[in-house]
Structure formats: C-alpha cells, structure tokens
Amino acid sequence: MAESLLIEVGKNLAVDAAKALVQSVIGRASEEIRLAWGFRDELEKLRRKFEYVEALLEDLGRSKQAQQSKLVDAWLNRFKNVAYMADNVMDEYAYEMLRRKQQLRLKKSDGFSIKFRNCFTLSSNTTFFRIRMSLKVRQMLSLFDELDVEAKAIGLSQVEVARDAVRGTAFINTDDRSRNQAREHASGVDNTNGFVGRKDDERKLIENLCVSFNEVDQLPMAAIVGIGGLGKTALARRLYDHHEINTHFGDNKVWICVSENFNITRLLNEMVEALTSNKGDLSNKDGILRKLEEKLKGKKFFLVLDDVWNEDQELWDSLRESLHKVGGLPGSVILITTRNKEVPNAARAVYIHGLEGLTPDESWDLFKHKVFLNDVSDLEEIGRRIVNKCKGVPLAINVIGCLLKSKQHSRREWEAIETSELWELPQGRNQILPSLLLSFNHLPSPSLKQCFAFCAIFPKDRVIEKDILIALWLAQGFLHIPSSETRKLTEEDIGDEICGVLLNNLFLQEDEIKKGGTLRYKMHDLVHDLAVYVSRDLLLIRDVKGQRKDGDYRHLVFTSEKDEQELLSESPEAKTFRKLRTISFEGVNSRSWWIHALYLRTLVLRSTELSEVPSAIELLKHLRFLDLSYNPIRMLPDSICKLYHLETLGLLDCKWLPKLPAKLDRLVNLRHIMTTTPMYASKGLAELKNLQTLPHLALDDGVQGWTIDELGCLHELRGEICIHRLEHVQNREQADKAALNRNDKVIKLTLTWAQNREETSQGNSDEDVLDGLQPHAGITWLELKNFYGKTFPSWLMNMTVVTSKLIGGNPKALTNLTMLKLLNCKNCRTLPTLGHLPFLKTLRLSMFDVETIGIEFYASSNPGNGSVKAFQSLRKLVISSFPRLTTWIVPSQEDASVCPCLVRLQVQDCPELKSIPALDCESLTHLELHKLSSLEFLDILKVCTGLTMLHMCGMSLLTCLPAELANYRNLQRLDIETFEKLVSLPSLQSLRSLQALRINSHALTILPDDLFHGLSSLQELTIYNCEDLERIPTSLIQCTSLKKLWIFYCEMDNAIPADLSMFRRLSDLVFSSYSVTSLRSMLEALEQLPLLRVLGIEGFRDEQQLGEYFSDMTPFLRLHSLKELRLLGWSEIRSYKLQRLWCKMRFFLMYRL
C-alpha cells in the first residue's frame, strides 16, 4: 500500500513539473513570435503544440489509471527533454536578437567593418542564422508529432484547460483579503504556539542546565531526542532565549545548526564567528582554540548543537577535548537536539530528555489557535479527526492548520483532506510527514510548487536571503506575469507573492536575524527533506544519501571537492553536462569544467578561491544568474559582457575587485548587481534600463567613468543605493538629473564624499550637489558621510522634500525615516530640525563645527505655550566628534517630552561640552560617556535610574560622582576610567545587580570601607592605574561571586586579601607584588582557588629578586587548574629553569615594560 502511494505521489509530482515547464515555454514562445522573422509560422505552430500538451498533462493529472502506467513515465521524461530543448532553441534565438541589437547600437563609425564581418561569419550572418533556427524549430515540431502519437497510444486525450489555472496565477489574481493573508508571515513552529504542553519539558531542562550541571567540570552534554517535527529545535531555542539561561551564562551562548556535516574545525570556526561577529575562516585548530579562549576563558558557556546525526564517539570525544582547552568554567554545558537515539550515547550525554507528542487535547488547542479566529464553528468534529491523524506532532498540526485555514468555508474540502490516502504514508528518518505532502499538493499552481522544490538547492539549515531566492527563481524562468494581470507588476513582485504563500503555508519561516535589514528565511529540516524529495528527479545534491547518481538531472550542487572529482570520473565527457541548467559550488575549489555546460541558467561559485574568471565564460549564452561572491577576484573579463541574458551578478565581499567590466552597458537584461564594497563603473550605466539593485557604486573623474546623471535613466532602481566619491559630481544641475526624488522604490540612501580631500572651494560644491540629490518623501534610511559644506540644503534642514515639478512641486516631510546618520560633517555649524520625525529610531551625528545643540534641533519654531514632543520613537542616539560643542539644551517646558523611548545614548569626543541635559529618558538602559574632558555636571544621571550599563571615561574635571548613582538598582556594568581629579567613590552597596566594575583613576586615594558591601552579584572587578590608592576595602570579601579579579599597576603590596577561601569561583586573577616574601605568601593562598585558570603578576623589576623567586617552582606547580601565566613588567627570564612550568601552561606571556 505504502509503495503504491509513493509511486502515485511521484507521478503527480512529475506531472506538476511538466506543467510548470510548459508554462515557461509557452510564455517564451509568445514573446519570441512577436520578434520572429523568417520562421514566425513555425514558432506559432510550436506554441500551439505546447498548448496541446498542456491539455494532455491536465488529463494526465486527473487520471489515476493513466498515472499507474510505466509508459507514462517514459512519455513524461521524453516530453520534458523535448520541452527543455525547445526552451533552449528559443533562448538561443532571443540571445541572437540581443546580440544584433547591441551590434547596431555600437556600429556608428565602424559600421561598415562590422557589417562586412557579419556577412562572412556563420554565427552572425542573418540568412544562415534564419535557416539554422528554422531547421531547429521544425525538428522540435517533428518531435512533438511523435509525442502526440505516443500520447494517443497510451490513452491520453486532450481536455479543455483553463489556462490561467494551469499557469499558476490563481494565487496572484485574488482579492485584497486573500493577498493580505498570503503575505502574513507565519512564524512556524518557533513561536509560542508551538509550546502547548511543553512547560514541564522546559522546567526540567532548565533545572538540569542551570542547577544540576552548575559545578560539573567535565563539560556535560544534555540531549533532546524525538522524531522529526516534535519541536526539538523550537524547545531548544526557547531555552536559549530563556531569562534564566541568560542570567546564568550571560552573552557566552552559541547556537550552531549541525545537520550531517559534523566537522570539528567547522564547528569551532562557527563558534568564533558567533562570539566575535567576525567570519571564522581559520583552518588551524590551535589558532581557533586561542580565539575561543580569548572569549570564553574563565566563563560559563552554553553551546547548542541543533539537528545532530553524528554517531562517531571518537569525534564527540575530540570535540569535548577541544572545548576543554578553551578554559570555560565548570557549569558550561552543551545541549544537542537529534532525531537519532544513538547520538546521545555516542556523545556520552549525561541527561537525555525524550520529547513526546502532544496529547489529543493539547493538539486540538494548538490546531484551534491556528485555524479558528473566533468560534470553532461546525467543523470541530471533522477538525478533531484530522488533528488525530497528525499523531501529536506540532509541525504536522501547524502545517495542516495553515492549509485548512484557507478552506474554512468548505466542508467538502476538509472531508477530502481527511480521507486522503496520503495519511497512510509511513514515517521514517528520510521520509516525509503526510501533512507536509498534503499541504504541498494543495499549493495552488505547478509553478509555485516548482519554486518550492528549487529551495532544495540550499543546504539544510542555511539562511536564505529573500532577494537571492527570487533572483534564482527568475533565472530558471519560474516567474511569469499573467496576461490577465491588471496591476503593474514585475517578476520580482510575483516572486514576493510566492514567498508570501510559502510563508503562509510554513514552507518558509522568517529568520529572526535580519542582516542589514534584509529579509531572510529558513526551512525546517523536515520541510527541506520534502523539497529534496519533490525535486529528486531534477536536482542532485552530491552529499545527500539515497540519491541516485545516474538520474537525468538539470541542477547540480557540490559540497566538497571530492564530489567534483567523483562526478568527473563518472562523466568525463563534456556532452554529459549539456543538460544542466544549474551548477552550484560553495566553499569548494572548482576546476573550470563548467564551461562545457552550455545551457546553464545559474552558476554559483561562492567562496571557491577563484582569482580569475576564464574568458571562455562567454560560451554560457543562456546564463542568467552568476554569483562570484567571496572570492579574491581582481578583474572581470570583458567577455562576461557577452552574456546578454544575464540578470543577476553577485559580487558580495569581492574586496580586491575595484571596478565593474568596461562594457557593462551591453548587459541590457541585467537587473541586480549585488555588491558590498564600492566599485567603479564605465560610462553607459544608463543603458541598463532593467537594473533594480545597485547597492554600492563609486564615481571617478567622469572622463571614462559613469556620471551621476545616468541614475535618472534607471527608473527601476529599488532598495538600497550607496553612492561614493560624490566630489566628482560637477554641479547642482548634474545632481538634479539623478532624479532621486522621483524614484520612490529606493528606501535606503547613502551619500559619501572622500574623507581626506582638499577643502578649498569644494564646500560650496558639496552644498549644491546635496541640494540636487534630495530623495523622495518615502525614504526610510538616510546617511551622509564627509559632507564639507558649511550649511545643509533646506530640504535637509527641515526634513521636507519637494516632489517633481511635473506634478506640482508639493512639499512633503520625510516622516518615514527610521535611521539617520550625519557623519564627519566638518564645516556645518547648525543642526537640522529632527525632533518632529515620528518614526526615527536611530540617530548618529558627527559635526565638527557645531557649538550648540539648541531648541531648533527639536522643533522648527518656538511652540510658545504649547508643549514640545520631540524624538518620540528614538531608541539610539550617538553624539560623536563634536570638538567645538559647548552647550546642549533641551526644551524647558514642564510638559515637554524629549526622547521618551531612548534605550542607548553615546556621547563621545566632545572635549568642550560642559554638561549633558537631563533628557526625558526613563527607558535608557545603556549610557556611554567618553572623552568629555570639560564636563562638569552629570545631570542626566539624575533621571536615568533604569540603567543597566554605564561607561564613563576621560572626565578630566569631575571630582566626584553624583549621589544619584546609589539609585541605580538595575545597573549591571559600571566603568569609571581616566578620571584625573576623582579622588574618591561613593558607596555602591545599593547596586545589588552589579556584575562588572572597572576603576581607573590616577588621583584616586581612598575607597570607602563599605564600597563592596552587599555586592554579592559582582563577578568581574578591575582596578588599575591607581598609583595613589592606599588600600582595597576589606568589604571586598563580601563579593563571593567574583570570577575575575584584576588589581594591578597600583603601588600597594597587599591589594589582595590573604584569605581567599571566599573566592572559590575565581578563575582570573591579576595582582601586583613588589617583594618575594609577599608574593610567596600570596601564592600559598592561591591554593584555595580550585578553579583558577589565569594568573597575572605585576611588579618585579629587579633581576636578583626574580632569580630568587624562581629558584623554587613548587607554589606554581601546586595550582593544578592553572592554564595561563602572565608576567607584567618583568625582566628577562631566559636564564631561569622554567621548563617544568612552561610544559604545564597553555599560554606563558611576559610583558616587559
């Protein structure tokens, strides 16, 4: 039974794939017929043949008897081969039309030579080309005649077809309500709805992670085990974000999606990347461990390894041994999630938490919340029966709920879903949940199913950028604008709606992290399994187990160099690659055999160490998507500009590539140039009429390079634009022609001038240029860098732009701004009025000549008796590099409201500023004050009682801290550094939440005796460069939670208490010692610290004392947990016998002052 069901499912999928291919080819045929000359009739016949086959496929999809015939399989495969051939023929014709169009555009003075050359070149001669294309089309017609005969022989007959239904427009031509529902971003199983009945699981795991494992020194592992779809990842994510986990581990948390690629170096690199926000690309394991130790030594860390399949115990032991070397504190934990019950045993997990399915009542609660907005209605009985078929699996309930939600008013459709035979499919490790397959079958069009299936090209657990996903669909011809569509849409808009449908059906989930504001998706691993399954006849992923390597594949994905070598040994002849439409390498060094895959639509060569692109790439005439990102490429060949079909060119993080190809203007179909660094371009950018994405571009002198006015011809530009080197714009008139104020699709705009340039008369030019580059009123992100004008243009001063004169020139406010940065503006003396912007969330200002932040900053005019309400949405404010700023005032009205939502405030490098006003910012949690050497008052500290982090540095005039500091009961970190006149500190005993304290003041002489009284939460204490400090208060012994204690460069010999028994959690200790006697007594006391891993000693500068001390190594050798020794300010020690100590240390560092 199960086998026959799977065969039937396979036939349905094959029919849908064929339908989607037909949609693509019919659309292409209609386009080419309009342009054809010499064989228009043949192309029209070809189009009618495809419409006929379209009807046959509709009949095949309805006939189970036909589907059960093996002859149908052979017929479908042959049809798809012929359809691909026909698509290639029409694509070749379109390419030739584009090539000839470019030849006509370029011939000008060289026209005769071009024409003469074309007459004697077979590939260019009109007559030869027409004959060749006509023969190919007739060959296609002949093949279709054969298919027709075969179709009749196996019993297929034509039926009447509603073309739009087959072509997949049902999800597009909908009413507003349906469209809005399709755009709802379903949060999938990772939201709180997926946690029905999981409170006990959560409680037990929290207890083990934070309590039971707290003092365990062997890096314990816990495992969540259960079948796919139960919510293991969702539960682990909930734990990862839980407030108790955050309190226990702080920021020392790492989440890694592992899947079947259990490579230790890769896992350690991903840990480095997660902890440092820098790409972890080290290959040396010791180097990786050193970086990890810098972040994790002496700290408890929490590592989650999601979706693990590794059963190799030696690999697990090797990972645990590597992480032991990092030097984390006891209580560090690894949590793994897995479907494989053997994994926890191989990992030597000390706690295994088996996750069970939901109870029937819990399952119904989850389903009810997903499907019914209000009353349960009369569908409850049938709904409960369907839910029972989901067997308590939350993913299955969520997915089937999304499907049924769209069919709430059709009992008949609910009954059809309940009685579907797909519920009888078996479930195993590599098989598909019936509910997922049901939901997939109910997607409203073959093309939508095709788009979902293509998502399998991404590795499991990969974050998928929405823009790239849509560009990939476009390259394969999956996106079509129906002829009946009345809205003005692009293919990207169709792709956006498809994403909405897939989100609404939980086939995609929004990723929580939006890098640079870019929308990103993830796929649940079971959903990814479904995508691999439904694409298995077309897509080969070389490392996926169970895939046949001898299939008739169109898409090929490599994950290792070994995969490539195997392929070349299996298929050494170039002709075997000609059916491929996609080749993807990522992180795999590739040879250039892909040049022989002449019909490629997509080529991905990401992170392949490619330094030179072969000029033969011009042979890939059908290529539409080319991704060369993350490679050390220094130059692109001009031959790349012969890829006239190219739509997307990916050049992300190509740091060594200074400019785009000189003949870029020939790529008239180019829609997306994806870059992250500024690049130069040649003249002719205006020819790229279809260009939508152009994030980073740099101007040059304008002789050979593009000019700013060319932007005015690019009406389809959207998203983000960053224009660099604006000093090359000549005048206001040229800037006006860029017409940025008429392009309402651009929502993020960055305008940058060179930083180190002559100021002579350039300032006036900057003002004129910026005046001409005013954006449209809907802009959400605006950034200016290195503007040298003396005043901002009026549109920026008032945050009001004028729309095109063609429609009346009405002024409109920039009310949609959420981010504004005015950086390194050297000569402006007046700030623009910004307080009225209703949605502004982030504001960064760097203004060298501004002397006063006055009332005009908040409101454009004096409101009189009316109250001022300014910056009502602002969450982050950075005031930086204001060397002349002396005064900062705020509205004085009692009912004025300024920055009520501010969370983070940074004021730095303002040496003349005398005070910071008390903003209305009770919500402030982070305050950073840096290099404010004239600051005399800290009025702002009187009102910011909710602070959790306070950093103060470089306050030359302050002699004391405000008494209000005692009210900061939520403060977790306090830094007091470089205070030249601060002689004492207030008591901090009321700061019960304080976890980190850092003190550095040359003038400090006395600390109050009760300074540390009650600071039981303090974990890190650093006191340094306090040469006049007489002693450390004895109340330090109350800080029993200390893990890090650094007291150095302080001229006192007994800074550390002799009795250290109360500091048993201490892992890092640095202190000063100036006599052998005191040092020896101190080292004896260190034996009371069982967790000590890092020891630093400062003070010895006498060679004789050094030799005397190191004559006896016993005290050091008794510190069994010690892994790192730092000697600060010591002389040469090569002459002393430290070999025994060096062998014991992982790091031995000496700083000679």
Q: Which of 95-99, 557-561, 1096-1100 tops mean pLDDT?
A: 95-99
User: 819: pLDDT confidence band, cut at 50, 70 and 90?
Assistant: very high
Average pLDDT score over residue span 800-805? 71
Sign of the torsion formed by the C-alpha atoms of 891, 895, 896 and 900: positive
Task: List, in sequence order, the alpha helices (H) in 793-903.
Answer: 794-798
Average pLDDT score over residue span 759-763? 56
Task: Tell me the residue type at 839.
Answer: F
Cα(582)–Cα(593) distance, rounded to whole angstroms? 13
Position 1111 scores a pLDDT of: 60
Tokens of 18: 């064929």
Tokens of 569: 């040994």
DSSP label at residue 833: P
Average pLDDT score over residue span 159-182? 36
Average pLDDT score over residue span 860-864? 57
pLDDT at 899 over 50: yes
**At residue 670, what are phi and psi to the nearest 5 degrees?**
-65, 130
Position 1115 scores a pLDDT of: 65
Q: Which of 177-181, 370-374, 1026-1030 tops mean pLDDT?
A: 1026-1030
Task: Tell me the residue type at 916.
Answer: I
Position 1136 scores a pLDDT of: 46
Cα(853)–Cα(863) distance, rounded to whole angstroms? 17
The DSSP secondary structure of 768-808, one letter per residue, reads: HHHHHT---TT--EEEEES---SS--HHHHHTEEE--GGGT
Cα(313)–Cα(325) distance, rounded to whole angstroms? 19
pLDDT at 437 over 70: yes
Position 956 scores a pLDDT of: 83
Position 1074 scores a pLDDT of: 63
Q: Which helix (H) or strand (E) covers residue 221, if one does?
A: strand 221-225
Position 462 scores a pLDDT of: 86
- Give Cα separations from 4 to 9, 424, 1034 (angstroms): 9, 11, 80
Position with higher pLDDT, 962 vs 11? 962
Position 962 scores a pLDDT of: 81
Cα(830)–Cα(833) distance, rounded to whole angstroms? 9
Cα(54)–Cα(14) distance, rounded to whole angstroms? 13
Average pLDDT score over residue span 282-299? 82
- Give Cα separations from 274 to 286, 303, 1124 (angstroms): 18, 11, 24
Strand 1068-1072 relative to strand 582-586, pairing: unpaired
Cα(136)–Cα(141) distance, rounded to whole angstroms? 9
Query: Which of 49, 52, 135, 54 has the alpha carbon at shortest distance from 92?
Result: 135
Average pLDDT score over residue span 242-246? 87
- Determine contact, residues 571/550, Cβ cutoff 8 Å: no
> Cβ neighbours of residue 483 under 8 Å, at least 6 residues apart?
none
- Determine contact, residues 231/337, Cβ cutoff 8 Å: no
User: 784: pLDDT confidence band, cut at 50, 70 and 90?
Assistant: very high
Cα(253)–Cα(271) distance, rounded to whole angstroms? 9
- Determine contact, residues 1129/1099, Cβ cutoff 8 Å: yes
- DSSP lists the bridge partners of residue 582 as 555, 602
User: 990: pLDDT confidence band, cut at 50, 70 and 90?
Assistant: confident
Chain centroid offset of residue 334 CA:
24
pLDDT at 974 over 90: yes
Position with higher pLDDT, 893 vs 32? 893
Tokens of 586: 């990522």
Position 1064 scores a pLDDT of: 85
Position 1049 scores a pLDDT of: 82
- Mean pLDDT, all residues of the chain: 80
Query: Which of 507, 495, 663 has the alpha carbon at shortest distance from 102?
Result: 663
> What percent of the chain is predicted at pLDDT more than 90?
30
430, HSE (Cβ side, Cα atoms, 13 Å): 9
Cα(608)–Cα(558) distance, rounded to whole angstroms? 11
- Determine contact, residues 1141/1117, Cβ cutoff 8 Å: yes
**At residue 869, what are phi and psi to the nearest 5 degrees?**
-125, 105
pLDDT at 32 over 90: no
Average pLDDT score over residue span 844-864? 84
Cα(957)–Cα(979) distance, rounded to whole angstroms? 8
Task: Tell me the residue type at 358.
Answer: L
Task: List, in sequence order, the alpha helices (H) in 63-110.
Answer: 64-67, 70-107
Query: Which of 375, 376, 404 has the alpha carbon at shortest distance from 504?
Result: 404
State the CB neighbour count (10 A cutoff) for residue 757. Answer: 12
Residue with tokens 């840990």: 271
Position 177 scores a pLDDT of: 33
The C-alpha angle 808, 814, 818, rounded to 5 degrees, equals 155
How many residues in the chain?
1153
Average pLDDT score over residue span 85-98? 87
User: 182: pLDDT confidence band, cut at 50, 70 and 90?
Assistant: very low
Predicted confidence (pLDDT) per residue in 1050-1105, tens digit: 877 677 887 888 888 888 888 876 666 677 777 778 888 888 888 888 775 555 65
State the CB neighbour count (10 A cutoff) for residue 293. Answer: 20
Taking the model in full, what pTM does it have? 0.80
Q: In what order do the strands lie in the sheet with 253-259?
A: 253-259, 302-308, 333-338, 221-225, 351-354
> Cβ neighbours of residue 261 under 8 Å, at least 6 residues apart?
559
Q: Which helix (H) or strand (E) covers residue 1097, if one does?
A: strand 1094-1098
Position 184 scores a pLDDT of: 34
> What percent of the chain is predicted at pLDDT more than 70?
78
pLDDT at 1130 over 70: no
Average pLDDT score over residue span 84-112? 79
State the CB neighbour count (10 A cutoff) for residue 33. Answer: 17
> Cβ neighbours of residue 784 under 8 Å, at least 6 residues apart?
750, 751, 752, 770, 821, 822, 823, 825
Predicted confidence (pLDDT) per residue in 1036-1052, tens digit: 988 988 989 998 888 77
Predicted confidence (pLDDT) per residue in 185-209, tens digit: 333 334 444 467 788 888 889 888 8
Q: Which of 36-40, 543-547, 1059-1063, 1077-1081 tops mean pLDDT?
A: 1059-1063
Q: Which of 179-193, 420-434, 904-918 tops mean pLDDT?
A: 904-918
**What is the SS3 assignment for 428-481?**
CCCCCCHHHHHHHHCCCCHHHHHHHHHHHHCCCCCCEEHHHHHHHHHHCCCCCC
Position 248 scores a pLDDT of: 85
